[in-house]
Amino acid sequence: MEFSFASRASKLLSSHLHKVNKEERQNSFISLAEELPAEEFFPIKRLGEAARMVLSSDPSVLQYGEPQGYGPLRSWISEDWKRRRGMLTSADRILLTAGSQQAIDLITRLLVDIGDSVVVENPTSPGCLQVLEMQGANIIAVENDLEGLLPDRLEEQFQSVKPKLLFAAPSFSNPTGILWSLERRKAVLELCRKYGVLIIEDDSYGELHFGSEEAASRFSVSYPTLYALDAMDGGNQVLYIGSFSKTIAPAMRTGWAVGDQRLIRGMSTLKQMADWQSSSMNQQILYFLLHESSFRWKEHLALLNREYEVRLKLVLELLKRPGFKEVKYHPPSGGMYLWIQLPQGLHSEALLRASMRLGVAFLPGSRCSPGRQADEYIRINFSRPGREELLLGMNLISEAIQEFTARR
């Protein structure tokens, strides 16, 4: 029989936002395109010990658990917030999800009707754009500068389209790696309060900040999350999204949302409908790792940040290769990505095709904005590839750019 897909699914499947990148991945022997953390730093030994402990207890660890997520892990998150980041919340305002992507999908399904306007940063992550497209949102992309979203532009949109939500990733966003200044954070929060716009703050990369240990210890004061700023005044303007995928390991499939109880309850109900619940076993293994084993969470984060900074520095060195002479970029101070503006007239999708012939892939910027506006940019992932891959990969991209510029 023939199948006719639902209209929005069909639109998503044929959209430039969704390309089947499986081929891209398989055909290029080096990929700087992924959203992957470095495997060599996964605490696999300690996770193995944690799994052994959890699975040597009562069989109820393998039963269905609380749909909202394992209570002790939710409590641990709220205590960790308080201890390390000076943020206050409680376990009943936290929902555990299958990574941050599911949190984005659930809050969108809960709040967005077809045609509702939603503001995103331009550019923004492909995963977020796909969810909004699928839900039928009217996606409004607002420009950033290096300090964050531009308040004037944001207010113009708030006045003209009255959006329901703002999706923002103020700390090392995917793809740009921008870190919003404190002033900009305050200004955007103020505007959202004034116009009654709920902020969905994706902080998936917020723990990955580089620099000295001293700067790291001040990070949450210098760059408080929008959630923290809002909570100081007792607000409920922000739904916060976090994840262990980039800091512990993706296969734990554990992220979380924190916010007003009505939102968390609504998302919990939709999560039950969507997949009943995430694995209570995995949540218990994570809890054991973080709470009961000798794993040192703070030192683990510091290690990741040192190592990722080394990789970023290597990429910045490699940008001295001849092909990159005309590119522009701003070195990020955290995260996993470098966002590079190509020489004028060069398109990211065309460059990708040429690069893949040489054996290297990256993410074309076109997939990070609803109307392909970012087509003159590319995103390089520096967290996953090791030294050799970065060297070879960046050399090949330089070559591919030179092929284009030589022709002009």
User: Cα angle at 338 between 336 and 343, to 5 degrees?
Assistant: 165
Of 23, 55, 90, 156, the residue at the interface with its own copies (CB under 8 A) is 55
> Hey, which bits of 56-98 come out as E strands?
94-97
Q: Is 370 in the site for its own copies (CB under 8 A)?
A: no
Dist. CA 386–CA 393, nearest whole Å: 10
51 touches its own copies (CB under 8 A):
yes
Cα dihedral sign, 273-249-226-72 = positive
Nearer to its own copies by C-beta: 157 or 237? 237
Indicate the burial class of 163 (C-beta count within 10 angstroms; 0-12, 13-18, 19 or more). Answer: buried
Nearer to its own copies, 53 or 350 (CB): 53
Smallest distance from its own copies to CB 13, Å: 6
- Kindly state the DSSP code that residue 294 receives in the 8-state scheme: S
**CB nearer its own copies, residue 38 or residue 358:** 38
Q: Among all chains, which residue has been given the structure tokens 């990929």?
A: 31
Considering only residues 165 through 194, tell me which ones interact with its own copies, judged by CB under 8 A. 193
User: Alpha-carbon distance 326 to 174, whole Å?
Assistant: 23
Give the span between the Cα atoms of 162 and 157, in whole angstroms: 7
Per CB under 8 A, which of residues 75..104 are in contact with its own copies?
Answer: 97-99, 101-102
Burial of 262 (0-12, 13-18, 19+ CB in 10 A): exposed
Quote the least distance from Cβ 391 to its own copies, whole Å: 21
The nearer residue to its own copies, 267 or 401, going by C-beta atoms, is 267
Please count the residues of the chain.
408
29 makes contact with its own copies (CB under 8 A): no
In this structure, the strands spanning 30-31 and 360-361 are parallel
Please work out the total of residues on this chain that contact its own copies, with binding judged by CB under 8 A: 79
Binding its own copies (rule: CB under 8 A), the pick from 78, 144, 171, 282 is: 282
12 binds its own copies per the rule CB under 8 A: yes
Distance (Å, whole) CA 329 – CA 320: 12
Using left for φ > 0, alpha for ψ between -120 and 50, and beta otherwise, residue 335 falls in left
Tell me how far, at minimum, the Cβ of 356 lies from its own copies, in Å: 20
Minimum CB distance to its own copies smaller for 135 or for 144: 135
Binding mask 196-215 for its own copies (x = CB under 8 A): x-x-----------------
Torsion of CA 156, 158, 159, 164, to 10 degrees: 160
**Near its own copies by CB under 8 A: residue from 32, 249, 351, 363:** 249
HSE toward the beta carbon, residue 295, CA cutoff 13 A = 24
Site for its own copies in 100-159 (CB under 8 A): 101-102, 105, 109-113, 116, 127, 130-131, 134
Point out which span in 77-85, 209-217, 279-287, 306-314 binds its own copies (CB under 8 A).
279-287
> Given the complex with its own copies, which of 173 and 333 has the nearer CB atom?
173
Stretch touching its own copies by CB under 8 A, among 145-153, 176-184, 244-252, 318-326: 244-252
Cβ proximity to its own copies: between 52 and 296 the closer is: 52
Q: Closest separation between CB of residue 264 and its own copies, Å?
A: 11
344 binds its own copies (CB under 8 A): no
Minimum CB distance to its own copies smaller for 110 or for 314: 110
Q: Pick from 118, 119, 229, 263: which binds its own copies (CB under 8 A)? A: 263
Dihedral sign for Cα 45, 46, 48, 52, please.
positive
